[in-house]
Structure formats: structure tokens, C-alpha cells
Amino acid sequence: MDRTDIKKALARHRAEEPHGSTLGPYIHDIVYGANDGIVTTFAVVSGVAGAELASHIVIILGFANVLADGLSMGLGNYLSGKSRQDNYQRLLKEELREMEEIPDIEREEIREIFEAKGFKGADLDRVTDVITSDKSVWADTMMREEHGLAPDEDGTPMWHAIMTFVSFVLFGSIPIAPYLLPIPDALRFLVTTIAAGIALLVVGLLRSWVTRERLIRGPLEILSVGSICAFTAYYVGMALKSFAGVAF
């Protein structure tokens, strides 16, 4: 296989990866935003159902939870990403300044880095010369090797935040939907449970695809976590209703 064929094969390989698609850089935000949206909202619905509160209470608390928690997760994701970017830029400026002020020391650092990787003699001299001949490559190498940091090439913090918020709201609304539809009151929670379970399985499958886990592992883990949260919320709601001794 010549170099041209190898490059074509590499391009196909990259296109097949999750990060090869338009949503690739944000797939983790979508998966975990959706997962948290379903679990937290279904927990709220379960608690209200366990306390046998009126259906309109589910709608009020459910949507309040979806919007507030979704916004909180989105902003948290934004601040986390922005902090990483700011820290990277700060260290990068320090490295560029040191390359100007103490180039010999910075050059020796590059030499030691590649010496530790097994380069010796003429090969070590050559790789040191090549890297330090280009300041952008030099600085990038120092950031990766000395600080263990790489530039954020997976989108901007704002888009990560938006994807997290949108996926949380969309999937988090699923457990509330049966309370907005013309379904008999006696069946609403059952329908909600089934809908939330299916949604969790879908998110679990997406997670397995992203993380390259066994296909069954992601859905089982996410469904288990959701079930634990829902059962806990439901029985806490029942206990508090009995404890308070209030009839709704």
C-alpha cells in the first residue's frame, strides 16, 4: 500500500470514529446531559408519585427541575471548559516568554524529554533541532510533554454548554410528557416509567457506542442508576407523606 492509499485509509478511519462527525466533539456532552436529565427528572416525578401529589405538581416541579438543573449543568460545563482554556493560555504564555528569555534552558528541557523517550546521539540532536526551530511546535511540545496539556480542539466551551443544556432539557422532559397527554391518571406513572426506561436504554446504547464498551454494558449501567434513583425518590415520597400525615 503506497502513501496515497494509506492517507485515504486514514481519512476513512477518522470518518468512522465518533469524533469524525459534526456532533463528534460534543457527543459526550449529549450523552451525559441526556442521562442526567432523564434520571434527575424521573426521580422528581417518582417522589411526587410516591407522595401521591396531584398531576399538576409533577408538571410544575418537573419543568422547574429540567430548566434549573439543565441550566446549572450547562453553565458548569461552560465554566469548566473556560477554566481549562484560561489555564492553558496562561501556561502557554509562560512557555513562550521563557523561550525568549532563557532559550538554552528550554532547549535543554526538550532534549531531556526526548532523551527519556529513548533518543540518543545524532537522532537526539536532530529531533531537538527540528522541534526548537519552530516556536509554535516548540511551545506545543512543551505544553504536551511538560504540563500534559493540549489545546482544546473539540469545540468551544459555549457550544459544549449549549449541547449539555439542550440534551438535558429534551431527554429530561420525557418523564414529564405523560402528565401532559390525555392518559388516565392511574396509568400516568406506569407510562412515565416505561418511557423513561426506554429513553435510558437509548442513552445507554449511545454511551456504549461512544466509549466502545460492550453493547449491553452501557444500557444496563444507566438503567440501574436510574432505577435506584427512582425507587429511592418514590419511597422517600411515600415515607414523607406518611410521616407528615397530610392527605393530598
CA distance 107 to 8: 36
End-to-end CA distance of the chain: 74
The predicted-structure confidence for 92-119, as pLDDT tens digits, reads as follows 999 999 999 999 999 999 999 999 999 9
What is the pTM (predicted TM-score) of this model?
Answer: 0.75
Residues above pLDDT 90, as percent of the chain: 38
Can you tell me the mean pLDDT for 35-55?
A: 84
Residue at 113: amino acid letter: I
- pLDDT band (50, 70, 90) for residue 17: low
Q: Which three cell numbers stand for residue 224?
A: 440501574
Q: What is the DSSP letter of 181?
A: S
Q: What are phi and psi of 17, to 5 degrees?
A: -75, 155
- Residue spans of alpha helices (H) in 26-54: 27-50
| Cα–Cα distance measured from residue 137 to residue 4, given in angstroms and rounded to the nearest whole number | 25
Q: How many residues does the chain have?
A: 248
Q: What is the pLDDT of residues 226-241, one digit of tens each?
A: 778 777 877 777 777 6
Residues of the chain with pLDDT > 70, as a percent, come to: 85
Place of cell 501556561: 91
Q: What is the structure's pLDDT at 248?
A: 44
At residue 76 the predicted structure's pLDDT band, cuts being 50, 70 and 90, is very high
Q: Is 214 helix (H, G, I), strand (E, B) or coil?
A: coil
